[in-house]
Structure 1
């Protein structure tokens, strides 16, 4: 039996300084080596700048349309979306929107490249039609007036296709092979990349598998008699072969994906091809290596040296991955190929880490650290020859020169470049070193699939700091391009970018971090152990105050708590700071409660706990800012005026069952930080979660009994009593029911302020410029996560008629891949609804929709309180008359000229909580934002999961009263304003001890009072 290495594990986001401290000392080569590197790199850079390519490439496009300019950004968006827009109206609107953002009319190019000149001419001509202007002789002005919109559309589309023809080797593998045939005496190697986004549906995965299988057979037949490594290759993306290629679905992925990858690998072996598994995001690294290890273990691949994978040097775990791959090669006695790249998803990795509030990033935040790590990884790979065949993918002349020097020869490795890029560099390299091999990574696919790929390449290579962008800029001196990465870093403390060194730790979004095997195991084990210790186990705070006194004690508690300074309110045993620490130290217990009592999946339960901690942290900070000092107001000489904020008294906080920890604790914490006391009433469906309350939050918990297996509701008399109580001066309500609001309005006594958020018929609008895969991801997340039991969940999707069939099909296919079942199972995507009554209401609505609407999808559901995702197409939006609080999506088609009708339909619902917009047309987005009265609008992303302190949450109309939870104006609603005016000059000359006015402006009210009393 081979000595199989254990599954890959490595720190997900280690400290940059620690890595730099290890890499910096080993990065310096001898002076003769550095001199040779300098000469080689200089020669390559000069070749890049001297090359006069009549056709042009990415470097020429970046020189002409830099991404730091409006024209460059507009061109990027046009390239990404225009060719997938089927209708003329939307295409014209899109073109006008983008070409109006830059100065394409006066964009004079001096490039000799045909691609650049043709694109600039077509775009400039189109811009002139949109913004007509006369040239001195009047010819252009007259011409464009005769051309009109159809010609503009044709010219712009042709410019996009021209770019596509240059950056894609062929739309089919046959075309690519024909174009890739070597010219006389030319030695070429290709790795073909079949374009396309990751699979969202099972049909997508089958289509991608068939495309890969067909391409392997076609490439193999045309490969000739060369042997590896001269043989051509193919790159395979694992996320294209499975619709749920994610860590939480690992068991399913290993059963379904490994046989598919093995099948393709066996086909690759039959033709002795280079078969490379492409790199994925950091979250998928462990899963990717699990799939690769399982595939390599199959004895049918023995004796084949063509299997390989890509490793990203911008990931901090790159070196550990190389060690793991080497261990696999040793264990199976195989030779493996490893493509070393720098990475193409940097922006995504940074954003995800910030959203999750991680302690660090999985990727480097300075490009110099990526370059430094690339060289270190290259050195390690070269040392592992011949068991590992390194493939160095780079367009950086300094990196190429450094690898050449470290290789000490020309055998046992190759370089790689992207098709359409790096041609001048590698042509010069081939002249200087005829025995050096390089391979072209060539995309193959339709123009529609190409453009998302092209945008990634532009983003990857078009940043101001990238070598490709700087090499194309003649203003950058050559010595600046030859600065060594170690010289840019200098010391370990400078390894991280100062602006990106700390993710948003103070406002964590609560997204689960289950990409790591260690985290998944910990969260599976701890709640299980917690359940074994007893179903009625309660946190320490719960045992401390199982039941509070009656309502009469609230006033005394409020006065005592109000006298505490804001810092003290945040640090008492029931204050915000203590609450945060209790939540974080006992997160496993609360997760177990949320899963057992609230039916939340592991991901949602962890999000609830983290959001609760965010509320505690945020409101403590806001309270210190708002209540920590008084505001001095202007006034006449001899008088002081100060404005202060003070608590109102007693608040009633009613917990919502869908967020029984986060929202409940958020409202309680806000009231306490404002100096109030709280009567806290838990939700009937989730009483146990709410029992760990603050000593300052007093109140009876009616009907606290365990929820049965069938999740029946206790009755609601407690909430009604709290609403009607005559001594209750204040009221705070979330997810409120109309009867509560009517009871509140009918009570005698002082006017009671109401803070409420009550859900809505939330809509999303997707037009033809939107990326279907992105729409599918965001719709499925927004409509079906948490079993649709979020106030912000998507209920009504408006899709432009021209693209509706494809988008609805993709959304339905993605929904079909969701796992419904036990929420304690980490692989579950959709758990149960809250109780039997909720299920009965949803079942009744489904039954009605089946007779009134077109059913696109109805998933299977287990027995119990489970409701599977459903998708219905309505004839008109008015068929949905009320909020349906569950995993049911309603779709309406619309014509682009009827967008105003869509907005009126949204307005007529009376709700105004959340709205989603998917479009690449800025004018349309701005018009929608300006038109609708909605609390939270999300553009080109999902519409759930508002982050405390980042996306204050709340609606208007039937969706709430405001102010927004988790926002800067929230705490003020829990307080009253008090103005204190003091006459500091009492009519005697002696009062003016400090000049007219008696007291310096910065003194507190208490100081002014004391001085006034002490004066004779």
Structure 2
């Protein structure tokens, strides 16, 4: 099973194609069945206003996306002002008039005209102050109430009931006759332990309610991630044992009530954990003889087939629900971000269909599996029917609100069994669930979407997926590159380590737990001699062709990856980085090397400029001389090397000074750089404290300085560079800190906000330049968000950074610890939340501090201390202005579902990096160039296209090519231009 996890797609599909390929007779029978199912589906699409409404506003229209976005956010907005802004944002730009009168349903057309009128009211209210006041009395509340009713109606479509009692009653209605349900207590993963407790209680109550009538045949679906907030590989020990106990309790209860229980499938990194839990519960003597235990398998996974084989070997009957898969896009993105070798799933929809069919064939033949086939695809259903023959010993499944018409005749006339996967919960809570399901089934490649496309013929709809995959040789989708090729031909992406793979994580833990060397004693550096050596080496290095200098950087990148384990060990032991942060450190250093090599080849070559005939003008970018690079301890490899290799590839020699706390990793990096071909005198390591840095800066032979650190030190360097009247003007590239703010309005999804706040404020013990320092919450959502944040913080582990379970390690040294703890103590009366931390070592407990007003915070506190203040609805612009007034300008975050809010913040904020609806840390080289303005830096941005030019002297040579005679170019022209 493990071998298939990230195996190449052609290799995995070759085995699957054998069983998914139909012979001509079977294929003919499948097409006959599928044709009838298509007719049923089309009839259902035209039956009822709900289906017609969804057909009219599909996800390939801006109006469909607008409605979905409105549904995702509207019901959770508590204040009318923001609700109106959200309505204006989503309704205002879409062309609702284009849909007017097009539907066969009067109700759909009425709804469309309501949207047309709503848009008109919104648009006019924005244009006219008088009209805006008028609508404030009548129009906006009317529109708001109408939208609220519409959103709740959409909730009815996709949610079976707000309570389990309501859901079971609805299942008894005539439209569900013949169908059974698998009730899913609606919600995503638990963020806090109270969340998990609430979900567990909801599952218990659902089992009791459904168990009152076991003859109805309904069942319960359980998400393991809803039962534990830290259901992740690094927390295997505590989460798997706890989840096994909880699933055992639920399964025993279901068995006693005589109903079935199925464990849902989740992201690929949780698969092995899930199998451990399911396997342990399946083996319980208390469940012997109960045939209601089940699990879901996702066919888009390369490991789907062996998971089914595993289930068949559990020694008991298992209900297996086969689904296509629900996390496809997020799995792709996470794999790319992590720089892993390949994807854990198939990149083509047809490949998933092939996998589904091969798995279905296995399930039909298995002795210990009761199959359940969840699909809305007529071809898939027809194939299973053809294979099953006269058997009825299996069931189909579909999502509530989707696939209506596909199974009705099969159930009511032909005796097949179909179960409806039925979400249960408050309509406010459908949020992410609704979005994911609609996007999944509304994607261009999905059968549901294609069925609604009148341009597709039946033959195209029912094309054989096995034939499609065989035709392309099982290859990956051409628009989805492997992670290593993410940045195209220019450069390779840095490779990562799959820290969600338990054996790999175990190896990493062993590697980082010990230093790969014995630290030596520091030797007092001779600054003057070092500068003299670098100055003497400059002419030869500057004369080295750009391509050769770039090649040195690429060789250095390869060496960094080859010695990644040793570098991670030093980062953990010396810089006190957690394992994920240490890995990220090495990858960023690699990315800097390859990115600057590519940019040098592209941007540092001579450029011939236009001019009058008989003249040649050439712009050259050349090294300036000796550069000093002064690096911080918080990124002792990535920033240290990033600054240094940028100066080197631009043709300069470099004196590189690491932070006094982290000389070892810098020494290792310089050794690798010299091994990569950079001459010893072109790159000279000069460790030491502030006095060494001051001596380097003061040396008049230093032609430029790149510094990352505190604003105070950057100002001190800038002043010293101007003190010597005889010294040339020396360029200073400075990246400093900031009072980085995240603004959150009432449309934001609280669960996502909390996750991003914890990451931004507390990862790396808050010791990142970009870390979140002040959270600005709209008043109406402040208390609820802080309650959820407090719960999420309860699950944090503060401890040894070499332990994979650790979320927050120590701060860098005693000086930083004392400064932070003293300040924290002065703010004790304002603590909202703090967590336990070890008393031995430099561990600063992550702490949330409530401010009365943003004006109370005027300096950066470089550690895991998060300040919180509130702002009033309608004062977004004023809030941004108050942040700008602090004078810092490094990073800012915004969480909002209002696109115009994002546009406003983008236009008004004075920061180098703005992050919308995501965390504020982890800038990627070449994708998110990093650096601030104001008190936060000088620019240009590191990892960006303009960075290298700052390290160069731009020189132009203008030559009169006619000086030796006439203008040869003009004199050689022929008469063809006549």
User: TM-score normalised by the shorter chain: which range applies?
Assistant: over 0.9
Q: What does the per-residue CA deviation read over 1:750-775, in whole Å, with 9 as the maximum and x for residues that have no partner?
A: 11100111010000001000000000
Match of 1:41 among 23, 34, 41: 34
Report the equivalent of 1:334: 316
Match of 2:370 among 372, 389, 397: 389
Contact 2:777 2:869 in 1 (8 A): yes
Deviation of 1:962 after TM superposition, in Å, equals 0.4
User: Which has the higher mean CA deviation after the structures are superposed, 181-190 or 233-242?
Assistant: 181-190
Report the equivalent of 1:486: 466
- Distance verdict in 2 for CA 1:116–1:819, change over 3 Å: farther
Instruction: State the alpha-carbon separation in 2 of the partners of residues 253 and 245 from structure 1.
Output: 6
Secondary structure of the residue aligned to 1:920 is coil
Secondary structure of the residue aligned to 2:629 is strand
Instruction: State the alpha-carbon separation in 2 of the partners of residues 96 and 973 from structure 1.
Output: 44
Instruction: State the alpha-carbon separation in 1 of the partners of residues 471 and 230 from structure 2.
Output: 42
Deviation of 1:147 after TM superposition, in Å, equals 4.4
Contact 2:629 2:705 in 1 (8 A): yes
Report the equivalent of 1:1010: none
Deviation of 1:868 after TM superposition, in Å, equals 1.2
Question: 1:713-724, aligned counterparts within 5 Å?
Answer: 715-724=689-698
Match of 1:893 among 847, 857, 870: 870
User: Which has the higher mean CA deviation after the structures are superposed, 113-122 or 349-358?
Assistant: 113-122
Report the equivalent of 1:1011: none
Contact 1:132 1:144 in 2 (8 A): no
Report the equivalent of 2:94: 102
Deviation of 1:146 after TM superposition, in Å, equals 8.7
Instruction: State the alpha-carbon separation in 2 of the partners of residues 625 and 296 from structure 1.
Output: 60
Instruction: State the alpha-carbon separation in 1 of the partners of residues 239 and 846 from structure 2.
Output: 22
Match of 1:759 among 709, 729, 737: 737
Deviation of 1:641 after TM superposition, in Å, equals 1.4
Instruction: State the alpha-carbon separation in 2 of the partners of residues 56 and 783 from structure 1.
Output: 47
How many residue pairs get matched? 947
Instruction: State the alpha-carbon separation in 2 of the partners of residues 294 and 903 from structure 1.
Output: 53
- Distance verdict in 2 for CA 1:547–1:291, change over 3 Å: farther
TM-score by length of 2: 0.93
Report the equivalent of 2:129: none
Secondary structure of the residue aligned to 1:867 is coil
Secondary structure of the residue aligned to 1:403 is helix
Q: What does the per-residue CA deviation read over 1:883-908, in whole Å, with 9 as the maximum and x for residues that have no partner?
A: 01000111111111222331122011
Q: What does the per-residue CA deviation read over 1:545-570, in whole Å, with 9 as the maximum and x for residues that have no partner?
A: 99996211111212111111122112
- Distance verdict in 2 for CA 1:43–1:378, change over 3 Å: same
Contact 2:880 2:905 in 1 (8 A): yes
Report the equivalent of 2:218: 232
Question: 1:337-486, aligned counterparts within 5 Å?
Answer: 337-384=319-366, 386-430=367-411, 434-486=414-466
Instruction: State the alpha-carbon separation in 1 of the partners of residues 826 and 363 from structure 2.
Output: 63
Contact 2:293 2:318 in 1 (8 A): yes
- Distance verdict in 2 for CA 1:537–1:631, change over 3 Å: same
Match of 1:319 among 296, 305, 313: 305
Deviation of 1:109 after TM superposition, in Å, equals 4.4
Report the equivalent of 1:835: 813
Match of 1:295 among 274, 277, 281: 281
Deviation of 1:324 after TM superposition, in Å, equals 2.4
- Distance verdict in 2 for CA 1:507–1:92, change over 3 Å: farther
- Distance verdict in 2 for CA 1:488–1:116, change over 3 Å: farther
Report the equivalent of 2:20: 27
Contact 1:549 1:699 in 2 (8 A): no
Report the equivalent of 1:604: 581
User: Which has the higher mean CA deviation after the structures are superposed, 943-952 or 196-205?
Assistant: 196-205
- Distance verdict in 2 for CA 1:925–1:182, change over 3 Å: closer
Deviation of 1:409 after TM superposition, in Å, equals 2.8
Contact 2:655 2:686 in 1 (8 A): no
Deviation of 1:322 after TM superposition, in Å, equals 1.6
Q: What does the per-residue CA deviation read over 1:962-987, in whole Å, with 9 as the maximum and x for residues that have no partner?
A: 00000000001111111112232334
Instruction: State the alpha-carbon separation in 1 of the partners of residues 493 and 964 from structure 2.
Output: 57
Match of 1:152 among 143, 150, 156: 143
Instruction: State the alpha-carbon separation in 2 of the partners of residues 810 and 316 from structure 1.
Output: 36
Instruction: State the alpha-carbon separation in 2 of the partners of residues 187 and 379 from structure 1.
Output: 26
Q: Mind listing any 5+ residue stretches in structure 2 that lack a counterpart?
A: 126-131, 674-679, 974-978
Secondary structure of the residue aligned to 1:153 is helix
Report the equivalent of 2:677: none
Match of 1:188 among 179, 182, 185: 179
Contact 1:547 1:700 in 2 (8 A): no
Instruction: State the alpha-carbon separation in 2 of the partners of residues 767 and 334 from structure 1.
Output: 51
Secondary structure of the residue aligned to 2:788 is helix
Q: Is 2:664 the partner of 1:688?
A: yes
Q: Is 2:704 the partner of 1:730?
A: yes
Secondary structure of the residue aligned to 2:619 is strand
Q: Is 2:223 the partner of 1:223?
A: no
- Distance verdict in 2 for CA 1:954–1:132, change over 3 Å: closer
TM-score by length of 1: 0.89
Q: What does the per-residue CA deviation read over 1:159-187, in whole Å, with 9 as the maximum and x for residues that have no partner?
A: 01111122211100001111112649943
Contact 2:754 2:785 in 1 (8 A): yes
Q: Is 2:739 the partner of 1:787?
A: no
Contact 1:508 1:611 in 2 (8 A): no
Report the equivalent of 2:505: 520
Match of 1:242 among 221, 225, 228: 228
Deviation of 1:287 after TM superposition, in Å, equals 2.0
Instruction: State the alpha-carbon separation in 2 of the partners of residues 450 and 173 from structure 1.
Output: 15
Report the equivalent of 1:823: 801
Report the equivalent of 2:8: 15
Secondary structure of the residue aligned to 2:15 is helix
Question: 1:96-175, aligned counterparts within 5 Å?
Answer: 96-112=88-104, 116-117=108-109, 119-131=111-123, 147-175=138-166
- Distance verdict in 2 for CA 1:283–1:60, change over 3 Å: farther
Secondary structure of the residue aligned to 1:896 is coil
Match of 2:272 among 257, 264, 286: 286
RMSD: 2.5
Question: 1:462-861, aligned counterparts within 5 Å?
Answer: 462-493=442-473, 495-503=475-483, 504=486, 506=491, 508=493, 513-528=498-513, 531=515, 534-536=517-519, 550-571=530-551, 575-627=552-604, 629-692=605-668, 693=670, 694=673, 695-699=680-684, 701-703=686-688, 715-736=689-710, 737=713, 738-748=715-725, 749-851=727-829, 853-861=830-838
Secondary structure of the residue aligned to 1:897 is coil
Secondary structure of the residue aligned to 2:827 is helix
Question: 1:974-993, aligned counterparts within 5 Å?
Answer: 974-988=951-965, 992=968
Instruction: State the alpha-carbon separation in 2 of the partners of residues 145 and 945 from structure 1.
Output: 43
- Distance verdict in 2 for CA 1:125–1:482, change over 3 Å: same
Contact 2:178 2:411 in 1 (8 A): no
- Distance verdict in 2 for CA 1:914–1:995, change over 3 Å: same
Q: Mind listing any 5+ residue stretches in structure 1 that lack a counterpart?
A: 1-7, 134-140, 704-714, 999-1016
- Distance verdict in 2 for CA 1:121–1:986, change over 3 Å: closer
Instruction: State the alpha-carbon separation in 2 of the partners of residues 866 and 776 from structure 1.
Output: 22
